[in-house]
């Protein structure tokens, strides 16, 4: 039979410093502060824990937040303190679920429960609790200078508690100078997911041309390119539990695959460089001869050039030029060619 305790004691090594410390009966640990956890929840959305014999009683039990609202209704002195400061002057009685005045001073640290920023309305509540003292209801937290704001987010905006959008604008401007369009899309979605800006649509409108540049270069029309960029962004947002509509962007419509009509938007063959034109003329001539029943001089072509020289662009222009000739084409990755070669 395995005796875990005996096995632990038999295998444990006690160093001389630890042995001296224990023989002297010094304290092995200490606690300097008491940590108060404060509830954060929306109205009627707090968690309720109950047993079968106290379900009704548990349903009417107050959280520390609701008890703070009730405290402010009958204790004028509590109006001077913010919600996180209440534990310094009051004690939460877990039996009666009420705040009572503190009789002796002790070291206390209060901590509000963290809120996932994807829960947008609840995410903005803690910031108001850190700045609005003496609130008696959830509505009072949204009351700014006599005006009842519809959401906690708008209340924070009215109180100028949200981060200035200029910082996000500068971040995207800097990223635009260093990143490719697909990387810029990821940067934009990161800002939207983890910083929750209040003007996501304005940020998109300012930088959408850069974020959809790849699609424009491929020959898509402006509205198609914008829609495809939104689709790429929406895919990343969905992976993070949100979507374009939730953060205030226009939702992308259904994306169509690359069709001949879309490919026809590629620039004219005259836009190619001399080197690209040399290759394209040979390929097009070979295809044309074969369709006329003649034997072309060349039937297999190998194009090699450093990355970024425009090979893909040239291929797309050739395909666009031959779009009405029912040409079938296959893209073979370089790694496959290496395997075939060896």
Averaged over 32-60, what is the pLDDT? 81
Averaged over 223-243, what is the pLDDT? 85
Q: Is the dihedral of CA 237, 241, 246, 251 positive or negative?
A: positive
Number of domains in the chain: 3
256 has pLDDT over 60: no
- Cα separation, 249 vs 238, whole angstroms: 13
110 has pLDDT over 70: yes
58 and 147 inside one domain: yes
139 and 181 inside one domain: no
Of 225 and 55, which is predicted with more confidence? 225
Q: Residue 326: its pLDDT value, please?
A: 56
128 and 40 inside one domain: yes
Domain edge (last residue) among 102, 132, 158: 158
Is the pTM here over 0.75, yes or no? no
Tens-digit pLDDT profile for residues 129-164: 888 888 899 998 888 888 888 888 888 878 877 665
Tens-digit pLDDT profile for residues 155-177: 887 887 766 567 788 888 888 88
330 and 232 inside one domain: no
216 within some domain:
yes
143 and 56 inside one domain: yes
Question: Domain range for residue 120?
Answer: 34-158
SS3 track for the chain:
CCCHHHHHHHHCCCCHHHHHHHHCCCCCCCCCCEEEEECCCCCCCCCCCCCCCCHHHHHCCCCHHHHHHHHHHHCHHHHHCCHHHHHHHEEEECCCCEEEECCCCCCEEEEECCCCCCCHHHHHHHHHHCCCCCCCCHHHHCEECCEECCCHHHHHHHCCCCCCHHHHHHHHHHHHHHCCHHHHHHHHHHHHHHCCCCCHHHHHHHHHHHHCHHHHHCCCCHHHHHHHHHHHHHHHHHHCCCCCCCCCCCCCCCCCCCCHHHHCCCCCHHHCCHHHHHHHHHHHHHHHHHHCCCCCCCCCCCCCCCCCCCHHHHHHHHHHHCHHHCCCCCCCCHHHHHHHHC
14 within some domain:
no
């Amino acid at each position: 039979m395995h005796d875990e305790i005996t096995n632990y004691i038999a295998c444990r090594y006690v160093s001389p410093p630890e042995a001296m410390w224990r023989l002297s009966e010094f304290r092995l640990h200490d606690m300097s502060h008491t940590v108060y956890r404060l509830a954060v929840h929306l109205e009627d959305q707090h968690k309720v824990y109950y047993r079968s014999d106290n379900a009704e009683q548990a349903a009417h039990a107050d959280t520390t937040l609701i008890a703070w609202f009730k405290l402010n209704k009958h204790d004028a002195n509590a109006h001077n303190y913010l919600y996180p400061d209440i534990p310094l002057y009051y004690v939460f009685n877990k039996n009666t679920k009420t705040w009572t005045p503190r009789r002796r001073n002790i070291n206390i640290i209060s901590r509000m429960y963290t809120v996932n920023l994807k829960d947008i309305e609840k995410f903005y509540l803690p910031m108001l609790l850190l700045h609005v003292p003496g609130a008696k209801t959830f509505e009072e937290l949204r009351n700014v200078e006599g005006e009842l704001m519809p959401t906690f987010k708008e209340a924070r905006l009215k109180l100028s508690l949200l981060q200035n959008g200029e910082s996000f604008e500068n971040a995207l401007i800097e990223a635009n100078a260093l990143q490719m369009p697909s990387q810029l899309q990821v940067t934009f979605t990161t800002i939207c997911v983890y910083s929750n800006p209040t003007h996501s649509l304005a940020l998109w409108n300012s930088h959408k041309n850069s974020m959809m540049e790849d699609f424009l270069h491929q020959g898509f029309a402006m509205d198609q390119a914008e829609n495809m960029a939104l689709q790429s962004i929406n895919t990343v947002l969905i992976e993070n539990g949100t979507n374009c509509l939730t953060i205030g962007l226009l939702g992308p419509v259904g994306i169509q695959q690359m069709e001949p009509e879309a490919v026809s938007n590629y620039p004219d063959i005259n836009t190619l460089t001399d080197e690209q034109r040399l290759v394209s003329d040979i390929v097009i001539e070979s295809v044309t001869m074969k369709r006329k029943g003649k034997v072309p001089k060349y039937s297999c072509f190998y194009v090699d050039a450093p990355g970024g020289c425009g090979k893909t662009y040239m291929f797309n222009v050739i395909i666009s030029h031959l779009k009405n000739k029912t040409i079938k084409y296959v893209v073979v990755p370089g790694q496959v060619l290496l395997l075939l070669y060896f």
